[in-house]
């Protein structure tokens, strides 16, 4: 009788070990959720894929509520809350906030409401100016929501080089989102002329702005760009390694737009330089 009981316990133990292994494997296979107010966050995904090429990704483009920069804190929190609930239904193992405005306004709220999931949030790479180019004139380009946010102002106060100019680029992310090349050129000519030849560093404080880095440089001349995406990518990889959640097999990318706009999907994968198969 004792031998039979021990055999039953042994079988249960083996069964639990197998289930735990399968559970961990399932967790590894689950996608990394990424969201932005549109397709600008593709610039973050590009950097992530350089260090995490084998992961599964689910990207949510919230073009319905674009732009975020002109919305109140409460509106942004509610929008982000709805998106996070959706990403959790998609069984994302970690969530990347690939929008500076959403990161600045909502990440604290989201972390408190959803302690069961880890959030990795983009932020303007102003600290990098302090670390690598402290003594140079610096232009921070960001949405009004980011520049007025408490989080960014604390960052600025801590690392201010006293040679920093802040530029609220109202409406720029929306023009980039729509892919209006002539309007982008006109906008930059109007708003950047005063800084031509005067700044050496440019902090791209919105994930849409790396998409027009070339156009910015055509106005300002040769400048050094600072973008928070590469640091975010490394931090994300560190977290997944610590949590034993790295995916080893071949990954895939899913894209969804809140307005179901097919042109967004096509442009998204074109930027990523992937074949349009998804």
Catalytic residues, which ones?
99, 206
126 class by beta-carbon count within 10 Å (0-12 exposed, 13-18 middle, 19+ buried): buried
Q: How far apart are CA 103 and CA 83, in angstroms?
A: 13
Structure tokens at 196: 């031509």
Structure tokens at 69: 């920069």
Whether the CB-CB separation of 93 and 31 falls below 8 Å is answered with yes
Of the candidates 64, 62, 71, 56, which has an alpha carbon nearest to the alpha carbon of residue 25? 56
Of the candidates 46, 35, 36, which has an alpha carbon nearest to the alpha carbon of residue 213? 46
Residue with tokens 């069984």: 91
Range list of H helices, the chain: 2-29, 42-51, 73-89, 100-113, 126-132, 144-147, 150-159, 172-178, 181-192, 213-220, 229-242, 262-272
For helices 100-113 and 150-159, give the axis angle rounded to 10 degrees: 110
Apex CA 237: angle with CA 116 and CA 145, to 5°? Answer: 70
């Amino acid at each position: 009788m004792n031998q039979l009981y021990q055999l039953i316990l042994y079988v249960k133990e083996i069964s639990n070990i197998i289930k735990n292994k399968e559970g961990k494997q399932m967790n590894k296979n689950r996608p990394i959720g990424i969201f932005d107010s549109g397709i600008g966050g593709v610039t973050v995904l590009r950097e992530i894929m350089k260090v995490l090429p084998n992961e599964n990704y689910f990207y949510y483009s919230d073009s319905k509520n674009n732009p975020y920069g002109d919305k109140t804190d409460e509106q942004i929190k509610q929008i982000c809350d709805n998106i996070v609930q959706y990403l959790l239904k998609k069984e994302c193992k970690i969530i990347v906030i690939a929008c500076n405005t959403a990161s600045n306004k909502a990440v604290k709220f989201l972390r408190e409401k959803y302690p069961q999931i880890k959030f990795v949030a983009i932020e303007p790479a102003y600290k990098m100016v302090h670390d690598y180019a402290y003594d140079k004139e610096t232009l921070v380009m960001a949405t009004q929501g980011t520049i007025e946010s408490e989080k960014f102002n604390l960052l600025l106060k801590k690392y201010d080089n006293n040679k920093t100019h802040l530029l609220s680029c109202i409406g720029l992310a929306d023009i980039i989102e729509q892919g209006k090349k002539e309007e982008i050129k006109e906008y930059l000519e109007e708003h950047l002329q005063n800084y031509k030849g005067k700044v050496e560093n440019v902090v791209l404080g919105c994930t849409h702005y790396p998409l027009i880095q070339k156009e910015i440089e055509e106005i300002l001349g040769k400048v050094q760009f600072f973008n928070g995406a590469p640091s975010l990518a490394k931090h994300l990889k560190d977290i997944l390694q610590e949590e034993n959640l790295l995916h080893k097999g071949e990954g895939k990318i899913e894209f969804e737009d809140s307005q179901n706009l097919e042109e967004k999907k096509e442009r998204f994968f074109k930027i990523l330089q992937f074949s349009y198969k998804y």
